[in-house]
């Protein structure tokens, strides 16, 4: 009877822990290391191995992960503590939106320029082929015949 009671008690204690683990956002320090940078080194946290600042940031992220914080909550806390420079990607609003738009517009302008250049290049080839006179292939043929007669043994 005691074993059944202890087993039931153990099961009752494990159920809330399992439910808590299921409701906790699944994130880790490794998930955030490429999205956060070391302020001292200026590189993503995953590359900053010997920096005391990077170690402090990792420790803070680890504590926040252990306290069941989501990825967005952790990033918000890091920005509040260290400033917006801590994120490797700029925000997608306000002036930081320009950091996303300028490269995209540059790619579009480059693609447009390449397309325009290719179109002009193709048109130029057609004009040259169409503008030559019809005598040229015949002249080439007669020159070929003359060369063959000259070298005929």
Query: pTM for the complete prediction?
Result: 0.47
pLDDT tens by residue, 54-79: 888 888 888 988 888 888 888 888 88
How is domain 25-89 classified at the CATH fold level? Answer: Helicase, Ruva Protein; domain 3 (1.10.8)
| pLDDT > 80? residue 100 | no
Q: What letters, b where the CB count within 10 A reaches 16 and e where it falls short, cover 96-116?
A: eeeeeeeeeeeeeeeeeeeee
pLDDT tens by residue, 1-31: 666 555 566 666 665 544 445 567 787 777 7
Q: Taking the domains of the chain in order of start, what are their residue ranges? A: 25-89, 92-130
- Cβ atoms of 48 and 98 within 8 Å: the answer is no
Q: Which residues contact 15 (CB under 8 A, 6 or more apart)?
A: none
Percent of the chain with pLDDT over 70: 69
Q: How far apart are CA 96 and CA 145, in angstroms?
A: 72
């Amino acid at each position: 009877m005691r074993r059944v009671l202890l087993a039931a008690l153990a099961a009752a204690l494990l159920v809330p822990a399992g439910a808590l683990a299921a409701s906790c956002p699944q994130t880790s320090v490794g998930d955030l290391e490429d999205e956060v940078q070391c302020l001292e080194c200026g590189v993503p946290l995953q590359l900053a191995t010997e920096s005391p600042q990077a170690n402090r940031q990792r420790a803070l992220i680890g504590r926040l992960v252990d306290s069941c914080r989501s990825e967005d909550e952790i990033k918000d806390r890091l920005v509040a503590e260290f400033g917006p420079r801590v994120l490797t990607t700029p925000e997608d609003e306000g002036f930081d939106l320009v950091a996303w738009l300028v490269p995209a517009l540059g790619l579009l302008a480059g693609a447009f320029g390449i397309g325009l250049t290719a179109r002009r290049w193709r048109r130029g080839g057609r004009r040259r082929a169409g503008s030559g006179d019809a005598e040229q292939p015949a002249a080439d043929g007669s020159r070929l015949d003359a060369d063959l007669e000259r070298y005929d043994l």
